[in-house]
Amino acid sequence: MLRTLRNTSNVSPRVEKQTGVARSDYHSGILRNAITVDVEDYFQVSAFEPHISRNQWNQFPARVEQNTDRILELFDTHGVYGTFFTLGWIAERNPSLIRRIVDSGHELASHGYQHIRIYQQGPQEFRQDVTRTKKLLEDISGCRIQGYRAASFSIRKDTLWAVDILQETDHLYSSSIYPVHHDLYGIPDAPRFPFRHNNGGLLEIPITTVRMLNQNLPIGGGGYFRIYPYGFFRRALQRVNQEEGKPAVFYFHPWEIDPDQPRQSDIGFKARFRHYMNLHKTESRLGQLLADFRWGRVDKVFLR
């Protein structure tokens, strides 16, 4: 049965310990960026799909709960609220974690049920997936689920049909487009900043890029955050905030702060490089990022 839906928009003000920013100043006019977490475990990433089938997931030692708890502690240390795009598969097995996320004042959003890329589904399968996940997350958390992020940013030009389904299933926004060239995802000529599909439809909140060398360079997190020097990320985000006057959207995964996770030995070089590069540096870099910029939940930054 669906629990009474809670309104988590009114959170108690606390003072950010490192920058002196009150948590209550979402509406103060100060430019904020959105910090987001894609809640999935290390064995669920798209790069491992050729080697780990979904029916094997239960055979792997789960680490997502302890890693997400570390993120909650990190956010609390810096006085930050974020948005947690969560797999239904994870929520079903870790309901107490979901409630801790919500009770800590963060936004809960959907990442689909089993991390299936949209172009691996048909419209009927996709509708069933997002409907199932939305109801599951709402039943566990008692909160309305407003946002959705596709597995591996898989809203591409050939899957734009998914936008209508998201709107029909009562999602208010998507953060599923990365306007870059990539072998798995991307719409390079999509708008770099939030826009509405179909002239007033579903709100799309793209992952942030910076315009350099006549192309969009990815600065929205993930593997790029671990591979590029931190100074490049800081300067690029400052450019988006200060020169373009726009809030950024940043994402990462719980497994990215876990250098001790079990290693997969039968994967190719590209997958190994993307997944394991600089895991030991990610948590400290995140701490610096949280201190260097102002951050908030997606709904508080973009749905005001």
| pLDDT at residue 89 tops 90 | yes
Q: Which residue has the higher pLDDT, 266 or 192?
A: 192
Residue 162: CB atoms within 10 Å: 23
Q: What is the pLDDT of residue 51?
A: 84
pLDDT value at position 20? 30
Residue 153: pLDDT above 90? yes
66 vs 1, more confident? 66
pLDDT at residue 272 greater than cutoff 90: no
Q: pLDDT tens-digit profile of 197-207?
A: 998 899 999 99
Mean pLDDT of 212-231: 93
Q: Output the pLDDT for position 15.
A: 26
**Choice between 47 and 168, residue whose per-residue pLDDT is larger:** 168
What pLDDT does residue 297 have? 98
Instruction: Work out the number of other CB atoms within 10 angstroms of the CB of residue 215.
Output: 11
pLDDT at residue 304 in the model: 78
pLDDT at 269: 84
Q: Kindly list the domain boundaries of the chain, sorted by start residue.
A: 28-302
- Rounded to whole angstroms, the Cα distance separating 54 from 40 reads 13
Is the pLDDT assigned to residue 130 strictly greater than 60? yes
Beta strands in the chain (DSSP E): 33-39, 83-86, 107-110, 147-148, 173-174, 195-196, 203-204, 209-212, 215-218, 249-252, 295-296
Q: Is 133 helix (H, G, I), strand (E, B) or coil?
A: helix
Q: Taking residues 144-169, report their average pLDDT.
A: 97
Task: Give the span between the Cα atoms of 24 and 266, in whole angstroms.
Answer: 48
Strand 249-252 and strand 83-86: the pairing is unpaired
pLDDT at position 59 over 60: yes
For residue 295, what are its two tokens?
């951050």
How far is it, in rounded angstroms, from Cα 108 to Cα 236? Answer: 28
**For 144-156, what is the mean pLDDT?**
96
Q: Does domain 28-302 have CATH number 1.10.443.10?
A: no
- Mean pLDDT computed over 166-177: 98
Q: How confident is the model at residue 181 (pLDDT cuts 50, 70, 90)?
A: confident
Please determine, for residue 24, whether its predicted confidence score (pLDDT) is greater than 80. no
| Amino acid identity, position 133 | T
Q: Is the pTM of this model over 0.85?
A: yes
